[in-house]
Amino acid sequence: MRACKLVPILASISLALLATAAPARGEAPASQPAPADAPRAPGFVGDPAPTDGVPRGSYVVVDDPALPPPAWPDTVVHHAPIIFYLNKSGGTYVPGNNDARTNRSTIVSQTRTIPPWNVSASGWSQVMSCMTTMFQRWNVTITDVDPGNVPHYEIVVAGRPQDLGMQAGVGGVSPFSCGVINNSIVFTFAEVYGTNYRSVCETNAQEIAHSFGLDHERLCQDPMTYLTGCGAKSFQNVAAPCGEYSNRQCQCGGSTQNSVALLDQRLGLRETTSPDAGPTPMVDAGPSPMTDAGLPPPPDAGPVAPDAGDPAGADAGDNPADPDAGADAGEITAGCGCASGGSGATPRALLLAMVVLAVLGRRRRRPLAQPRLRT
């Protein structure tokens, strides 16, 4: 009896429940508009799960109040080299405005730790050499020694994307803005590349370039690309369309970008000589040593003996600097009564006098012939 009385009661309750549930199945839940002042979530740009299994680089558009306005001069101003610190040791990173000096990054939403990359010395040397070559055009210093509190950019070359809560297909990530993100930290998840050290290097190049406002582009030879199968990549001085697998508008306007032109502007060219070194030592050093060595001796440096018969020769040899130049010709010829010229004729007059004296001497010594007596 009691069971029979309960049946109508349970049936009534079931009908009531069905009546209240029916409208709920037929209505779509109303969407709630987001508050006008709600913060905009950073936008991830890239492919977190490539169908070909090749990891791809990516970037996250950030709204960092510390960013400078994206205004650039037409000419490159030389400055101290920009430091790119390649960190294979990993580390712990906390949320905050990007600052490699304090391990703060807009990429992480909570404290994250990247383990070290257990790479061989030879493999690491290949990565360092590749990066040095990749940026040899620009005013950049590549180092694997932590600069400490000095302004610098950090490329974390270690770990996996899962260490930052990302999907397995992400090869690297960087904050992105249309300006330069000073002291930025970027990540290359080296573990996903194994021993493909060239790919590690090219991902490093793409990620650090994102922090200088470079977008993805559809030029296979450039490291900013998603395209593969064209060999080693390097920055190309070409206006290439932006995009990943198809062309799109560039994040900062326009439909193309020239990666070399942008890096010229934002990194500055490497200086081949010091701007304050001054002229080379030989500039304005004066004439060569032989130029002003003095005049050659005059062709008539010594007096020419005048002709003995020249009446003017009597005074031609008068020279105050010659102690014998002022001797009177009479001192030489007085003993022989010979006419003589000036001092220039002295040797001839003296010789003639000696000959005359010798002849006279012989005549004096010859005995006189005795006259014959006539008988």
List pLDDT tens digits, range 217-233.
999 999 999 999 999 99
The rounded Cα 239 to chain-centroid distance in angstroms is: 24
DSSP state of 195: T
Give the whole-number percent of the chain exceeding pLDDT 70.
61
Token representation of residue 253: 């306007």
Q: Could you tell me if 147 and 281 are in contact, meaning their C-beta atoms sit under 8 angstroms apart?
A: no
Residue 53's pLDDT band (cuts 50, 70, 90): confident
Residue 104 main-chain phi, psi, to 5 deg: -105, 140
- What average pLDDT is seen over the chain? 76
Question: What is the average pLDDT across 312-326?
Answer: 45
Question: What is the average pLDDT across 130-149?
Answer: 97
State the Cα–Cα distance between residues 308 and 327, nearest whole angstrom: 16
Q: List all residues 6 or more positions away from 356 whose beta carbon is below 8 Å from its beta carbon.
A: 336, 338
Higher-scoring residue by pLDDT: 311, 164 = 164
Lowest mean pLDDT, pick from 166-170, 187-191, 308-312:
308-312
Q: Could you tell me if 223 and 210 are in contact, meaning their C-beta atoms sit under 8 angstroms apart?
A: no
Q: List all residues 6 or more positions away from 98 whose beta carbon is below 8 Å from its beta carbon.
A: 62, 64, 66, 104, 105, 106, 175, 181, 182, 183, 184, 185
Q: How many CB atoms lie within 10 A of CB 192?
A: 21
Return the pLDDT at 176: 96
Give the whole-number percent of the chain exceeding pLDDT 90.
51
Return the pLDDT at 354: 82
Cβ burial of 350 (10 Å; 0-12, 13-18, 19+) is middle
State the Cα–Cα distance between residues 206 and 325, nearest whole angstrom: 97
Measured CA to CA in angstroms, residue 279 lies from 80, 233, 271 at distances of 22, 39, 16
Angle between helices 121-134 and 197-210 (to 10 degrees): 40
Higher-scoring residue by pLDDT: 53, 371 = 53
Nearest to 57 by CA among 180, 183, 166: 166
Return the pLDDT at 62: 81
State the Cα–Cα distance between residues 287 and 337, nearest whole angstrom: 62
Residues across the chain: 375
In this predicted structure, the answer to whether residue 302 has a pLDDT above a threshold of 90 is: no
Return the pLDDT at 51: 87
Return the pLDDT at 271: 83
Cβ burial of 235 (10 Å; 0-12, 13-18, 19+) is buried
Token representation of residue 223: 């490291």
State the first-to-last Cα distance of the chain, in angstroms, to the nearest integer.
236
Return the pLDDT at 43: 86
Q: List all residues 6 or more positions away from 161 whose beta carbon is below 8 Å from its beta carbon.
A: 48, 55, 167, 168, 169, 170, 171, 173, 189, 192
Return the pLDDT at 360: 75
Question: What is the average pLDDT across 255-276?
Answer: 87
**What's the pLDDT tens digit per position in 271-283?**
875 555 555 555 4
Return the pLDDT at 334: 40
Return the pLDDT at 332: 38
**What's the pLDDT tens digit per position in 325-368?**
444 434 434 444 444 444 444 567 777 878 778 777 766 655 55
Return the pLDDT at 180: 95
Return the pLDDT at 218: 97
In this predicted structure, the answer to whether residue 200 has a pLDDT above a threshold of 50 is: yes
Residue matched to tokens 């590549």:
142
Return the pLDDT at 358: 78
Question: What is the average pLDDT across 309-320?
Answer: 45
Predicted TM-score of the model (pTM): 0.61
The rounded Cα 220 to chain-centroid distance in angstroms is: 27
Q: Which domains does the chain have, with CATH numbers?
A: 43-215 (3.40.390)
Residue 52's pLDDT band (cuts 50, 70, 90): confident
**What's the pLDDT tens digit per position in 71-130?**
444 444 557 899 999 999 999 999 999 999 999 999 999 999 999 999 999 999 999 999
Which runs of consecutive H residues, i.e. helices, occur in the chain?
2-26, 121-134, 197-210, 259-267, 313-316, 329-333, 346-365
Q: Max Cα separation, the chain? A: 236
Token representation of residue 312: 């003017």
**What's the pLDDT tens digit per position in 14-36?**
444 434 433 333 323 333 333 33
State the Cα–Cα distance between residues 109 and 120, nearest whole angstrom: 32
Higher-scoring residue by pLDDT: 77, 163 = 163
Question: What is the average pLDDT across 126-138?
Answer: 98
